[in-house]
Amino acid sequence: MFVDLEPITIGFLAIGLLLVLIYGGLYVGVALTTVSFVGMLLLRGDFGIASQMLSIAASDAIASYIFGVIPLFVLMGMLVGISGIGEECFDVADRMLQRLAGGLGIATVAANAVFAAITGISIAAAAVFTRIAVPQMIRFGYRAKFAVGVVAGSSVLGMLIPPSLLFILYGIITETSIGDLFLAGVLPGLALTAVYCIYIVLAARFRPGLIYQNGLVPNVATRRPAVRPMEIGRALAPVGLLVLFVIGGIYGGHFTPTEAGAVGALCAFVITAFRGRLDRAGLWKVLVDTGQITASVCLLLIGASLFSRFLALSGLPQEIAELFHNTGLGVAGFIAIYLVILLVLGCILDSSSTMLILVPIAFPVSTSFGIDPHWFGVITVVAVEIGLLTPPFGLSVFVVRASLSEDAPVSTNQIFAGTFPFVLLMAVTLALILAFPWLATGLLTAR
């Protein structure tokens, strides 16, 4: 060794240095790779071995067949984002619920849930529904703060309702079946959707000042022609087609997740082109955006893979597991501390980075307690997604702000204030999943 330190000490110092570098502004993928490489060097005392470990980590992280699921699902989500499906789903939901107080808010949540089932990317949903739902809600008497809050809040459904990029990352890191993780996210995603809708209905009934301008419920008489069954079918047909091929293909045993991603991307391409939404410039932008997101995720995965190997060599996860076992904190204490750390990191980091830093440390501890990896993945994703709505990072909040028109009467602080009720509702849903694990595992055991 270059220095005479215990492996456990090196592990703890590495985590401290990692947080310092990230807080100082260094890109998370670079910080993970740098700290892990230096840690390997200290543990083995040989530059050649540390370099070889970096090479192996890079190869194992992104050179496998299953990694193809990431760019394929990202491409599918990008194509769906410009296809107009989101706008049509919102239009149909709006016209179906227009007689109901709070109907526009519920329509936004419902359309976001449908959109989530075919994209898996929260920022895409935030951008799409900011443009189509916020002006409509403000026009018909909703408070601007509520309008942006419900859009940002419901955008997180994209990372919980399958297909989900975060479930894909979690599955790759922990070597858990991505198809099973998708299935585990269905009931929690529907539960969060229901909690949002119940809140909006109750607020409209008992506290209209929370969602309406001047606290006055606007006239809920029919504003537009009632939606016809043919229009519902036309709006939902592309959604049903994608869900059938992608999710149905996985659970029916016809496709692996990677193959389902390829089929989904092809279907999304055909649908978008058939709708006349895809010209040469649009296709090029979609491909470039997909490449940029994939490259960013590649670097994060390489860093996370090397970080996991370094932690395993240092013995830190095993030491932490023993600490929890010996102190008597048990499963409840471990989960409580884990969720607190996730929520804190989520305030300063994006979702993917938070997961790639913490899961390699926490997952071996969870397995030592015999915790179901699918349930653990679901609570991880829900907790991480809360960070999309909390300051100072709040990625969904900034996407909403960037998507608003220049003259929109809403500041970034007002958007954060508008999302606060939805942060609390996510915490309630997380508590339900903690109290009733079958919400995450029920569909898996029922197969």
Percent of the chain surpassing pLDDT 70: 94
pLDDT in tens, 4-31: 667 788 888 888 888 788 777 777 788 8
User: Is residue 389 pLDDT above 90, yes or no?
Assistant: no
Determine the Cα angle at 244 with ends 265 and 190, to 5°: 100
The predicted structure's pLDDT at residue 435: 93
Alpha-helical segments (H) within 120-228: 122-132, 134-139, 144-155, 165-174, 178-184, 186-206
The predicted structure's pLDDT at residue 49: 75
Calculate mean pLDDT across residues 387-414. 77
User: Is residue 223 pLDDT above 70, yes or no?
Assistant: no
pLDDT in tens, 436-447: 999 999 888 876
pLDDT in tens, 41-84: 888 777 777 787 777 777 766 777 777 888 888 888 888 878 88
Give the whole-angstrom CA distance, residue 213 versus residue 77.
34
What are the C-alpha distances in Å from 270 to residues 76, 120, 273?
11, 19, 5
Query: Rounded to 5 degrees, what are φ and ψ at 373?
Result: -65, -25
Q: Would you give the DSSP letter of residue 410?
A: -
SS3 content of the chain, % helix, strand, coil (to 5): 80, 0, 20
Radius of gyration of the chain (CA): 23
Count H helices and E strands in the chain, helices first.
22, 0
pLDDT-based confidence at residue 1 (cuts at 50, 70, 90): very low
What are the C-alpha distances in Å from 251 to residues 179, 190, 248, 260, 389?
7, 18, 5, 10, 32
The predicted structure's pLDDT at residue 304: 79
Both tokens of 302, joined, read 């390489």
User: Is residue 172 pLDDT above 80, yes or no?
Assistant: yes
Dump strand ranges (E) for 324-439: none
The ranges assigned to domains in the chain are 1-63+297-314, 65-278+379-446
